[in-house]
Amino acid sequence: VTTASLLRDRARLTCLLGCRLEILSPQGARLGFIEAQASRVVTGPEAERPRAADLVLRRTMDDLNVEFEFQLRRNLKDWLVTAGPVPGGVGEVTQEELPKP
């Protein structure tokens, strides 16, 4: 995480998030990197609602996730691989009904 801020100024909420991913060789040389940023501003009555800060943060995180994936696929595509089931691995995710307390 390179940037994380949530500021309230009167009837205005501003959220800024940023992150960076670097791929390094075993010797520490940089082989590739990406950066992503996202920001959102909410003003007026919307910014004064009880859960406004939580909502603007969640929306900014969603935006950052989309931008991060875009940058990853665009700039580090040679590092991406398709993964399948691993022999002897855990397998697929299942659901188990838990007893009611």
Cα 11 to Cα 14, 17, 88: the distances in Å are: 10, 20, 56
User: What's the confidence (pLDDT) of residue 88?
Assistant: 66
User: What's the confidence (pLDDT) of residue 55?
Assistant: 96
Which ranges of the chain have pLDDT less than 50? none
Domains for the chain: give ranges and CATH numbers: 3-79 (3.30.160.150)
CB contact at 8 A, 31 and 24: yes
User: What's the confidence (pLDDT) of residue 84?
Assistant: 72
pTM exceeding 0.95: no
